[in-house]
Amino acid sequence: MLGLAILTIEDGTIISEFESFVKVVPHLSKSERAALNLDYSKIRSAPTLSDIAPEIIEIIENTHTVFIDQFSCSIFKKAFREIGYPAGSANIILEKAYKNYLKSTTPFSLYNAMELLKIQQPLHSLRDICLAMEKILDTLNTISSDNNPVLSSMENERSDGNEIDFSHLPKSPGVYFFKDYNDQTIYIGKAKNISKRVRSHFTSRLKFELELCRQTTSIDFEETGSEVIALLLEAHYIHSLKPKYNTLQKEIIDPYIITSKMDSKGVLRIQLVQKSYSDNQNEFYYNRTSVLQKVKEVQQKFNLCNRYAGIERTSNKCNDPIFCKGICEGKEDKQSYNQRVHKALDYIFAQRPSYILKLRGRSAFEESLVLVKNGIYQGFGFIDKEANINSIADIESFIKYYPHNYFTARILDQYFKNTRPSLQNVIRLT
């Protein structure tokens, strides 16, 4: 697998996007590269599947996945099995849906399906292909002769015989809790529309969903006003309660952080460390690729040595004749070098943002606030729009504090990456 794109679509709206090339191990031969018709440098500089797998699994967890054909589905599952991740199976194979609903003698391909269904969509990128697949699936749903949607797992049938009351569930964003006969929480999820998402569990024919719904006797919920707070609260509850049927976010993934240590020669080294930190005071990086990117930035900006910056693993001189001033060859004064390392570390710390994120509240009369200090998630709270606020301290009195961890860091990072909130929604703190 050399690349993939994932579009998460709800009610016809794209709510998240993911696209990446994947570094292959081992190297491809020249003939294989020529056959790909791709810029091979992008493949070699891309993250490995192991680096991006947690994010991909979280995106597709408890969704209805659509693959273009059985081959693509098999390659995806095989690649994830090889690195120790169960990736599940596709709910829909587009090629099968095409054959079942159109009964066409024309062989399946995206081009043929688009031409037959009169769909206009460029196919210049992986994202374009995802958009074309969505349009084809939507059209097949529309024209299906028996009014039975392609997504057969969403038929209006209960998964079990229990009578669950859905009438109390709101159509607003939040977190929901499936509970068993002992009133123990066995599953936690988040939704933009709690009522609709909960009902979808009970109309699914996935083996996981059938078993979950058979064990469920009641459903509780907590409104959040916005999806990002729902994500943050879901992560907190899953880690603290560890429900039986949740598979992700139960255990905190050890992040990468940037630290420093004086070695026996008196040279201040930058270290890239992956381990658990209980003090929650370090900015987290999701994988070695992202932390290396930051270190390479400061290595060039402050003329540091690749060897002592943790970029190259060597006991000899580094391979950077441009930015390194020779500390690895004994050509530079240690004190001068160490001063630049301190400046680099100060630069990294200064880049860690402090801000308050303003979001929709649970009603028209309130707002929700997410507080981040020096890149560290503090928590969130709700505040009346008419409240008398004169200082940051006033705002902080409304914040309920939650732990900062790998998942909360990634949730906020993805929010800014995908949403790009307006300046009015972000209060920068100095």
DSSP assignment of 227-270 equals HHHHHHHHHHHHHHH--TT--SSSSPPPPEEEEEEE-TTS-EEE
What is the rounded (10 degree) CA torsion for 229, 231, 235, 241?
Answer: 80
Q: Check residue 424 and give its pLDDT.
A: 78
Alpha-carbon distance of 272 to 285, in angstroms, equals 10
The hierarchical CATH code for the domain 3-152 is: 3.30.420.10
Mean pLDDT by 10 residues, the chain (430 residues): 82 83 69 65 79 83 82 79 65 81 81 90 89 89 60 41 74 94 91 93 87 90 94 94 88 81 94 69 70 92 95 90 94 95 91 90 92 91 88 88 88 85 80
Q: Check residue 428 and give its pLDDT.
A: 86
Per-residue exposure over 273-298, b if at least 16 CB sit within 10 Å of its own CB, e if not: eeeebeeeebbbbbbebebbebbeeb
Which run of H or E residues covers position 59? helix 49-60
CATH for 156-241 (3.40.1440.10, 3.40.50.300, 3.90.1310.10, 3.40.50.2300): 3.40.1440.10
* DSSP-based three-state secondary structure for 342: helix
Per-residue exposure over 26-51, b if at least 16 CB sit within 10 Å of its own CB, e if not: eebeeeeeeeeeeebeebeebbebbb
Q: Check residue 276 and give its pLDDT.
A: 66
Q: Check residue 295 and give its pLDDT.
A: 94
Q: Check residue 33 and give its pLDDT.
A: 63
The pTM is what?
A: 0.59
Q: Check residue 163 and give its pLDDT.
A: 65
Alpha-carbon distance of 33 to 111, in angstroms, equals 25
Q: Are strands 66-67 and 92-93 parallel, antiparallel or unpaired?
A: parallel
Alpha-carbon distance of 263 to 348, in angstroms, equals 21
Q: Check residue 181 and give its pLDDT.
A: 82
How many CB atoms neighbour CB 167 within 10 A? 5
Q: Are 234 and 188 a contacting pair, CB within 8 Å?
A: yes
Which position has the token pair 């809790």?
177
Alpha-carbon distance of 289 to 328, in angstroms, equals 24
Among the listed residues 225, 256, 251, 259, the one whose alpha carbon sits nearest the alpha carbon of residue 364: 225
Alpha-carbon distance of 222 to 231, in angstroms, equals 12
Q: Check residue 34 and give its pLDDT.
A: 66
Q: Are 406 and 286 a contacting pair, CB within 8 Å?
A: yes
Which run of H or E residues covers position 19? strand 13-21
256 residue type, one letter: Y
